[in-house]
Amino acid sequence: MKSKLFSPLSFGAIELKSRIVMAPMTRSRATADNIPTDLMAEYYGQRAGAGLIITEGTSPSPNGLGYPRIPGIYSAEQVAGWKKVTDAVHEKGGHIFVQIMHTGRVGHVSNLPAGAAVLAPSAITCKGQIFSDTEGMVDISAPREFTIEEVKATVTEYVTAAKNAIAAGFDGVEFHGANGYLIEQFISPATNQRTDEYGGDIVARSRFLLEIITKAAAEIGKDKIGIRFSPYGAFNDMPAYDEIDKTYTYLAEKLNELGILYVHVLDHSSMGAPAVPQEIKDSIRSIFKNKLILGGGFDKEKAEAAIENGSADLIAFGKPFVSNPDLVTRLQKDAELAPPDFSTLYTPGVKGYSDYPFLQEA
C-alpha cells in the first residue's frame, strides 16, 4: 500500500504532491542589502520535489533584519528577486510559501540598514549573542520599546508583505510566530509588558498577531495564510510562563474562527529544548479544524506514523532538506541521507548550499 505521507493533499486552492514540507530555514544567502539572489532561485528550485516549500524567514520591514544577509519582502527589488525563486519552483511543479519573520529584539544594530532600529514590545534585552558581518559575534542589541503608532505601522508592514508575497508569485504566506521572534515577543508576558491595548492579558498579547492575520486575510485570502508556533520553545531567551497552555488554546480558537489554512507547530526537543507537551498539540489539533503541520526531529518512520494516526496533516523536515535536495525521492526509496555540513549553514556562496548532490550524482 502506498504510504499516505507520499500521497497528494488538497491544500487551500492548491494541490500538493505529498505531505512532506521543507521547513523554513534561514540560510543567509541574500545580498548584503537583503535582496533574494539567482543562487537562492537555484537552491529552492532544486528542492521543488517537496510537497510544499516554506522559505527562510523573510522580513516585512527594515527593522526586522536582525541577522546579516537575510532577505526582505518590502521593496520592489526584493519582490523581483523572489519572483525568480517562485518561478524556479513552479517550473518544476512545486509549491512555495514565504515565511514572514520580523526579528524584533533579536538583532544587532550593525545588521540593520541605515535608519532602522532594534524594536520590541518592551525594552527587555534578549540575552545572547548574534553574528554580525562587520563585527563577528556580538551581544544582541538592547531594543527600544515600540510606540503604539509604531506597533500599528508594523502590523501594516506585515500585511503589505503578504500582498507583496502574492505579487512575487508565492502560493501563500506563513507568519513566523515561533522561536522568540517579534510575534512571539508580543504573545509572551516575559517579553511583552506593555500597558496599552497590545499588552496585559492573553487577549491583549494576542492582538498584534490576530490583527495581522485578520487584515492579511482580507487582502490575500484566508486560504493562503499559515502560522508557525513553538509553545514552550526556549530559543532566543523565551522563558516558560503560567498561561502558555491557555494562550495557545485561545489562539487556536481565534485562528479557527478566522479560518486560516494551517497551524504549524514546531517542537525543538530534538535540538535540546523542552518538548512541546502532547496535550497542547492535541488541544490545537482538536480546536483548529483546518490543516496542522508538525515539525522538529522527524524521520520517515515518525512522519508516516503521525500522518497515519491523524496527529498531523503534513510533516516538516528541516536539516534533512539542507543536504538532500531530492529528500522526497530518497525517503520513498529508503536511500541513504547525506548529513548537513553545519559550518556552511549561514556562510555566503554555493558551498554547503546549492552543491549537495542528487541521488544519481551521489
Helix (H, G, I), strand (E, B), or coil: what is residue 45?
helix
Minimum gap (Å) between residue 347 Cβ and ligand FMN: 11
Question: Strand, helix or coil at 339?
Answer: coil
Residue 134 in grid coordinates = 562587520
Beta carbon nearer to ligand FMN, 84 or 228: 228
| Among 12, 45, 295, 348, interactor with ligand FMN by CB under 6 A | 295
Shortest reach from residue 107's CB to ligand FMN, in Å: 14
Q: What is the Cα–Cα distance from 55 to 81, expressed in whole angstroms?
A: 13
Residue nearest to ligand FMN (CB): 318
Which residue from 5, 20, 26, 170 is in contact with ligand FMN, where contact means CB under 6 A?
Answer: 26
Instruction: Pick out residues in 325-354 that bind ligand FMN (CB under 6 A).
Output: 345
262-266/9-11 β-pairing: unpaired
Dihedral (CA of 126, 26, 276, 224) sign: positive
* Annotated catalytic residue 181: yes
Question: Which of 43, 44, 74, 181 is flagged as catalytic?
Answer: 181
56 binds ligand FMN (CB under 6 A): yes
Which one of 25, 204, 234, 335 is in contact with ligand FMN (CB under 6 A)? 25
Cross-strand bridge partners of residue 160: none
- Give the residue with the Cβ less far from ligand FMN, 27 or 194: 27
- How far apart CA 146 and CA 167 sit, in angstroms, is 29
23 binds ligand FMN (CB under 6 A): yes
DSSP 300-313: HHHHHHHHHTTS-S
Residue 165 phi/psi, 5-degree rounding, is: -60, -40
- The stretch among 7-15, 83-91, 255-263, 314-322 that binds ligand FMN (CB under 6 A) is 314-322
- Shortest Å, Cβ 28 to ligand FMN: 9
Q: How many CB atoms lie within 10 A of CB 150?
A: 15
| Least gap, CB of 174 to ligand FMN (angstroms) | 8
Contact 225, 162 (CB under 8 A): yes
Provide φ and ψ at 131, rounded to 5°. Answer: -85, 140
Does 304 bind ligand FMN (CB under 6 A)? Our answer is no
Part in contact with ligand FMN (CB under 6 A); list of ranges 22-30, 119-127, 138-146, 238-246 = 22-30
Q: Of the candidates 78, 179, 188, 236, which one interacts with ligand FMN according to CB under 6 A?
A: 179
Strands (DSSP E) along 29-171, which ranges? 52-58, 96-100, 119-120, 129-132, 136-139, 144-145
Rule CB under 6 A: is residue 199 a binding residue for ligand FMN? no
Q: Residue written as cell 520591514?
A: 61
Compute the radius of gyration of the chain from its Cα atoms. 19
CA distance 182 to 186: 6
Span from 17-25, 161-169, 255-263, 283-291 in contact with ligand FMN (CB under 6 A)? 17-25
319 near ligand FMN (CB under 6 A): yes
Q: Which of 260, 36, 291 is nearest to 165 (CA)?
A: 36
CB 130 within 8 A of CB 60: no
Member of 7, 147, 270, 286 binding ligand FMN (CB under 6 A): 270
Identified binder of ligand FMN from the candidate list 21, 266, 303, 328, rule CB under 6 A? 266
Distance CA 264, CA 52 (A): 13
Q: Which is nearer to ligand FMN, 49 or 295 (CB)?
A: 295
From candidates 34, 59, 61, 99, binder to ligand FMN by CB under 6 A: 99
- Cell numbers for 218, please give them: 482580507
Q: Which of 95, 102, 176, 224 binds ligand FMN (CB under 6 A)?
A: 176
Residues with catalytic annotation? Answer: 181
Residues that bind ligand FMN (CB under 6 A): 23-26, 56-57, 99, 101, 176, 178-179, 228, 266, 270, 295-298, 317-319, 345
